[in-house]
């Protein structure tokens, strides 16, 4: 009877190890895949996985992985607002301050650079709604840009960093 129990434990451990290896391989493949396309408009260009769809909606460009339909189920959005015609809330500092006040301790900020421009990453989690979002905000040539990844609380796309680091201004 002891050998049957030990065999079951060993089988479970083998299954768990196999799952970990498969997940690690998927993450490695996603981050290192050369199958990326480049989206370009008159303001910027950005790379995205070749199997993702792209949809332009006004000043927003929405990138979605296969099977995703909403903007909060794991898609990535690039939003551009013309700062000179917008309310002060719509510049980078206004957006950062608004989310920091709204989410308090649930919004963590850090600095980074997007194509030579200073930017702020806002990592947001909301305990009342099972949502996790990462928003990068920066100003350039009278425009404010946001790159937003949002999804369920457990979700974080392994492609997000590769995606935002490929952002390049065209003007």
Instruction: Return phi, psi of residue 134, to 5°.
Output: -125, 125
Which architecture does CATH list for 36-169?
3-Layer(aba) Sandwich (3.40)
Q: Which residue has the higher pLDDT, 46 or 107?
A: 46
Checking if the pLDDT of 3 tops 60, the result is: no
Say what the pLDDT of residue 9 is.
82
Q: Span 36-59, mean pLDDT? A: 91
Alpha carbon distance 100, 19 (integer Å): 37
Checking if the pLDDT of 91 tops 90, the result is: no
The pLDDT-based confidence of 18 (bands split at 50, 70, 90) is confident
Q: What is the pLDDT of residues 108-124, one digit of tens each?
A: 788 999 999 999 888 87
Query: Mean pLDDT of all residues in the chain?
Result: 76
105 Cβ neighbours under 8 A, 6+ residues apart: none
The pLDDT-based confidence of 89 (bands split at 50, 70, 90) is very low
Q: Span 151-165, mean pLDDT? A: 72
Domain ranges of the chain: 1-32, 36-169
The pLDDT-based confidence of 166 (bands split at 50, 70, 90) is very high
Say what the pLDDT of residue 10 is.
82
Q: Are strands 107-114 and 131-140 parallel, antiparallel or unpaired?
A: unpaired
What's the pTM value of the predicted model, to 2 decimals? 0.67
H or E segment at 167? Answer: none
The pLDDT-based confidence of 78 (bands split at 50, 70, 90) is confident
Nearest residue to 144 (alpha-carbon basis) of 99, 86, 63: 86
The pair of structure tokens assigned to 49 is 């996985």
Alpha carbon distance 156, 92 (integer Å): 23
**Which residue spans within 117-162 are E strands per DSSP?**
117-126, 131-140, 143-152
Lowest average pLDDT, out of 1-5, 10-14, 34-38, 84-88, goes to 84-88
Q: Which residue has the higher pLDDT, 51 or 95?
A: 51
């Amino acid at each position: 009877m002891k050998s049957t129990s030990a065999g079951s434990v060993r089988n479970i451990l083998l299954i768990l190890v196999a799952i970990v290896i498969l997940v690690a391989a998927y993450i490695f493949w996603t981050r290192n895949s050369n199958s990326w396309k480049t989206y370009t408009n008159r303001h910027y260009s950005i790379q995205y996985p070749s199997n993702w769809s792209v949809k332009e909606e006004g000043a927003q460009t929405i990138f979605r992985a296969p099977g995703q339909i909403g903007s909060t189920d794991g898609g990535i959005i690039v939003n551009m607002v013309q700062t000179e015609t917008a309310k002060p809330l719509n510049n980078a500092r206004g957006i950062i301050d608004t989310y920091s006040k709204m989410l308090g301790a649930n919004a963590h900020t850090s600095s980074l650079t997007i194509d030579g421009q200073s930017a702020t990453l806002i990592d947001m989690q909301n305990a009342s709604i099972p949502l996790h979002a990462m928003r990068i905000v920066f100003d350039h040539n009278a425009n404010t840009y946001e790159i937003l990844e949002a999804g369920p609380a457990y979700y974080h796309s392994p492609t997000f960093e590769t995606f935002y680091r490929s952002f390049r201004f065209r003007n």
